[in-house]
Amino acid sequence: MKKKTKLMLAAMAALLVIGLIIINRSLVKKEDERAQKQQLTILLGTEEKVYDYDESVPEYQTFQTQMKRKNGDKFDKEYSGIELRLLLADMDIPVNNDTEVTAVCSDQYEITLTGEEILTVGNIYLVTRESGEPLDEESGPFMLVVNNDEFSTRWAKNVVKVKISE
């Protein structure tokens, strides 16, 4: 291949990548703006819904979770939020054992949970407060807490979207 053709192909590939980055950034920006307004994007198949998070509803609760350090020491943490199963039920979104729920973070990190995990009472929370204070910028405005994960390896910070699939 001639040198000009190779350069032209490389330039077109670079432009394509830049275009995809710009499109992705605009989508993430929209979701970040919603999250700052205490709104969460819920994607059910191709249908997009918006959940207006409200800390005054009865489902919003403060709970303790016990965590374990690598050395085995245990300590308690206090969070406030809504169980994800209740949030989805409030939106008339059915969840069963075959349902997969994926939490998407602002940095595009994703964590997938099973319907069984979601339906376990007291397990999966979408929180907005830690020890009575709003989540810090690094963690919030929404953080997914998996109460039964004592090392917090499956927790997700800065959640901007929840995708539901079966």
Specify the pLDDT at position 24: 58
Is 46's pLDDT higher than 70? yes
CB neighbours (10 Å) of residue 15?
10
Highest mean pLDDT among 10-24, 127-141, 146-160 belongs to: 127-141
Residue 28 lies in domain: 3-165
Is 5's pLDDT higher than 70? yes
Amino acid present at 81: G
Each residue's pLDDT tens digit, 51-70: 988 999 999 999 998 887 77
Rounded to whole angstroms, how far apart are CA atoms 93 and 146? 20
For residue 153, what is the domain's CATH number? Answer: 3.90.420.10
Each residue's pLDDT tens digit, 90-138: 999 999 999 999 999 988 899 999 999 999 999 999 999 999 999 998 8
Specify the pLDDT at position 19: 67
Report the number of distinct structural domains present in the chain: 1
Burial 95-115 (b: 16+ CB within 10 A, else e): beeebebebbbbeeeebebeb
Specify the pLDDT at position 109: 92
Phi, psi dihedral angles at 138 (to 5 degrees): -70, -30
pTM over 0.85: no
